[in-house]
Amino acid sequence: MNPDHKDHGRRVVGLFGRIAPWYDFLNHFLSLGCDVVWRKRLRRCVRVHRTNRVLDLAAGTLDVSREIVRHMPDVDVVAMDFSEPMLRRGQRKIRGKGEEGGSLSRPRIQPVVADGRALPARDECVDCVTIAFGIRNIRPREAAYREVLRVLTPGGRFCILEFGAGRQKILRGFYNLYLHRVLPLIGRIFSGDPQAYRYLAESIQEFPDAGTLCGELLQAGFARAYSVPMTFGIVQLHIAEKAGTEREV
Task: Choose among 137, 30, 157, 19: nearest CA to 89.
Answer: 19
Determine what percent of the chain is predicted with pLDDT higher than 70. 88
pLDDT digits (tens, 9 = 90+) for 39-56: 999 999 999 999 999 999
pLDDT at 28 over 90: no
Q: List the domain boundaries for the chain.
A: 3-22+37-166+210-241
pLDDT digits (tens, 9 = 90+) for 205-220: 889 999 999 999 999 9
CA distance 193 to 186: 9
Secondary structure string (H, E, C) spanning 142-209: HHHHHHHHHHEEEEEEEEEEEECCCCCCCCCCHHHHHHHHHHHHHHHHHHCCHHHHHHHHHHHHHCCC
Of 29-43, 59-73, 97-111, 181-195, the one with minimum mean pLDDT is: 97-111
Q: Burial, 10: exposed, middle or buried (Cβ in 10 Å; 0-12, 13-18, 19+)?
A: exposed
pLDDT digits (tens, 9 = 90+) for 115-161: 999 999 999 999 999 999 999 999 999 999 999 999 999 999 999 99
CATH code that applies to domain 3-22+37-166+210-241: 3.40.50.150
